[in-house]
Structure 1
Amino acid sequence: MEQTLTDSAAPLDGRALAAAGTTVLLWASAFVVIRDAGSSFGPGALALGRLTVGAIALVGLLVLRREGVPPRAAWPGIAASGVLWFGLYMVALNWGEQQVDAGTAAMVVNIGPLLIALLGGWLLKEGFPRGLVAGLAVSFAGAVVTGLSMSGGAGGGSVLGIALCLLSAATYAAGVVLQKPALRHATPLQATAFGCLIGAIACLPFTPGLLHDLGRAPASAVLDLVYLGLFPTALAFTTWAYALSRTTAGRMGATCYAVPALVVLMAWLLLGELPATLALLGGTLCLAGVAVSRRG
């Protein structure tokens, strides 16, 4: 089924704005829940469990709605975003959050909109305006400051966490750019369901670890895994795809500005953790770089 795209300059309509808001809230909660579940599940095991739960829910809904299989033209974008965004992104983020607190991870990962603009300039030949280059420099400085704030941590393990969060940001950005063309041909539910299924298949090598961790994890950690699969994955990625199908990738990326603030607040209330002062400064620079890149 062909999707009719709105004009790239048009603002989000009411339904798309509600969908984007739902995504932002659920993705913010995911950073906190991942941090909590990470003590019971390995990074790959948690990603596989989350994706399996999400894929079962999404494919079941796809069957109920009788939307069927996407047309051939949609598959390159769905497959690539499935491996990079659903698969690699989740493994890297889970691993990164075992090294750094949820708020710091969210601030670093949310340089994604800037990377989306960079990929657009390269792959879509949109150019590299001065604001984009300046924003990249500011965000890079922020990542360096955040990394320095972690260098006195446990054997430099937190520096690894920052690197993994940067990898997560890169795969998130690539996933958005690759998913956007697929939504011209597939419905949001089709793109999300099959992307999630492909991500789960890519994570199948972690099956022994998942089975091992499930046998030892407390009930609360298993509930964390189920929550991640049903809400931040099945629901939030579908509402994201719905909103993305009605606007541009860059405009959708900008809606994620609120995620780090929500994560810091949730992590403080639910986990009792706050980023270090220098990490907050570095994270703020990361987000400032995104804002600079979006000016004009």
Structure 2
Amino acid sequence: MDRKRNRRWARTAACAGLALGALGLSAAPALADGRAAARAAPASAAAPLPTFDFTDCPTLPAGADPDKWRCEVHVATGDMKLGGLTVPLRPMTITHAEGPLPDGSTGQVFGAMHATPSPATGGLPNIPGLPERAPMLGVNVKTKYGGWFDFLSHGTSAGGLDVTFALSGPLLPENCSIGTAEQPIRLTMMRKGPNEWISKDPPILKGTLWDNTVAIPAATDCGPLGAVLNHRNNLPSPGGANSVTLDGLYTFKTYTQLGR
């Protein structure tokens, strides 16, 4: 990379604080002085780089500078404990944009969330009415965006996100879910250790976020078996009895680089 491109990369990286990684991994101080890239492990640098899809980058607010705004793409796996449901998360992708607004404040615009339904351990009895220790019929859990996010980082806090968990299975109706559009679940994510640079060009970071304080409500709109589902999986479940862990990769491009 030549000097002009290096200067451009450093200016781009410093223009706004990195948000959630996986759901945005903050690395603003490291990007600002450019030293974190030099600490990337040789083994990580030698590994094949992942590809990221910028299709869901949202439209910028009026007056936003495309050279100072960037689109951020976060890809995460991980695991969740929602009451008695244990969910190993299949890949999910979150896209958003952030940058300075004309009044000097930092703006954020949500793009999209895409998540693959993940099979959970726990669920429903194979036959309704079987005793308490009857074998369980698993359900799938799909994470959906709940209408609010704040991916600006503050210290070890990596921001927050409202979600709902859609539940599906052969005995469940279509709208069965934990959390609803009217009352979503708010995740408050913290960083679990420092982030790791995978690549400087393109910029890719790796890190882990988690929330072990979230309270999980009872499942709703689950038909005749809703009460059984909640009873067998200890729902609702208070804060401290649940957890969400996201292991993610994160990258970004300015809107100028995207040609917008």
When normalised by structure 1's length, the TM-score is 0.21
Bigger fraction of residues in strand: 2
Higher relative contact order (CA closer than 8 Å, sequence separation 6+) = 1
Higher share in helix: 1
TM-score (norm 2): 0.23
